[in-house]
Amino acid sequence: MFTEVLVALVIGGLIYFLVQRNRTQVLKAEDGWWGAGARSAAEEDVTIRPFKVTTSDEELEDLYRRIDQTRPVPSLEDSQFNYGFNSHYLQKVLSYWRNDFDWRKQVDKLNQYPHFKTNIEGIDVHYVHVKPKKVPQGTSPIPLIMVHGWPGSFYEFYKLIPLLTDPSDPNDLVFEVVCPSIPGYGFSEAPHKKGFNSVCAAHIFHKLMKRLGFQQFYAQGGDWGWLVTTNMAQLEPKIIKGLHVNFAPPAKTGLLMTLSIMLGRHFPKLFGFTDRDIERLYPCWEKVVVESVKETGYMHIQATKPDTVGRGLNDSPVGLAAYILEKFSTWTNPDFRNLEDGGLTRKFSLDDVLTNLMIYWTSGCIISSMRLYKENVANGLNDTHVKIPVYVPTGFASFPHELLHTPKLWVQQKYHNLVSFTPMPRGGHFAAMEEPQLMAEDIQKFIKMVEKKKQ
């Protein structure tokens, strides 16, 4: 009896030690210098400068000339979007872009919210900063940073922002929202040095929020925004009050995850698998492996030689349109591959997807945006942040047509303080842009739960 108790105490003590050791793990990041040339000896310029999106006749004339000089290539018969962006439908999109799309009007729409730039670690960081028009008496707005991914931009959040800063329900929380452009994306300057990965972006965004005067704040992200905000929670967990993500691919395959894959179909309740989990995960070969091969070709290119294909995309607006808009079709719903028009306008307007595209075209950022894959995937699973759990309160919105389906059990392997897990009724990869109302409701629900716990 004594031996059994002793063994139990030793095992319990070991488990406690390992848990406490993990709790003390914090991601480390050093200050970098991403500007051109050697670091300046002068003090960092911490000024915040107003910024406006602009355009010119010359910019538009150059765009139209390049569209007019495209060389159409017919798609295969009955191929829809299964070979990529259908050329026949692409001609219709190009006709709208060339003759009907009003970029000047969209520039005014982009400028409806205040834009700023500030220099951090040698590069200019662009961000949108929206404060609420009205704040209930006796309360303060809740600061929230929202980070986009590829091939998106800060524009993904434009329909979501007013739902958070000026909610119609008087019982809802009121937010002050900051939407930065990841360095190398949109109007943020691209790093001039190798090695700028998601941790570097997270470090810079922490500096940005501190420069704006926020001591604590919430963070939200999908796609690369998921990883950047996760890294922010790992870097300074006491500053991130809560983390909300709508994308969370498994960081690594542990024993529990392996067992769940092997046995989950036959013993779903044992692993908390739902009907949706079973539908999305099995049979494994068709649902996971084959789909991954179909939809990750771009990733292999961008994670190895982004500058090669990027040069062609940077010269050709038509090539850039096919490359980016195809993602807004297939990543919204994989079944859209079987439609002649790729279902592109079933969830988005052409004005919205072309506005996002124009942010890439006018800023010339396609190559620098693709390099983030090279920098993040270069070290693979050896990156330190992969092994560090997240203990910040986390909310996960699980959209049914997301690229990778992650059951609750798998999310919990990384996010050890999972406060909310919401199976969404509809939506895909670009959730904030596609389903802003659903996203706003889930952010509200999650942060209300965290705030209530803190009280």
Single out the catalytic residue among 113, 124, 203, 223: 223
Nearest to 189 by CA among 369, 46, 376: 369
Is 223 a known active-site residue?
Answer: yes
The C-alpha atoms of residue 334 and residue 342 are separated, in whole angstroms, by 9
CA distances in angstroms from 372 to 223, 261, 426, listed in the order given? 12, 30, 29
Give DSSP secondary structure letters for 305-337. Answer: -HHHHHHHHHH-HHHHHHHHHHHHHHTT-GGGG
DSSP code of residue 451: H
SS3 at position 221? strand
The C-alpha atoms of residue 128 and residue 181 are separated, in whole angstroms, by 8
The C-alpha atoms of residue 22 and residue 388 are separated, in whole angstroms, by 7
The C-alpha atoms of residue 168 and residue 69 are separated, in whole angstroms, by 48
Nearest to 299 by CA among 323, 274, 334: 323
Single out the catalytic residue among 185, 360, 429, 442: 429
Is 373 a known active-site residue?
Answer: yes
186: left (phi over 0), alpha (psi -120 to 50) or beta: left
Single out the catalytic residue among 127, 218, 323, 373: 373
Burial class (CB in 10 A: 0-12, 13-18, 19+), 365: buried
CA distances in angstroms from 287 to 334, 405, 411, 429, listed in the order given? 11, 10, 19, 17
Is 218 a known active-site residue?
Answer: no
Bridge partners (DSSP) of residue 395 are 244, 420
The C-alpha atoms of residue 28 and residue 285 are separated, in whole angstroms, by 38
Burial 29-67 (b: 16+ CB within 10 A, else e): beebbbbeeeeeeeeeeeeeeebebeeeeeeeeebeebb
Catalytic residues: 223, 373, 429
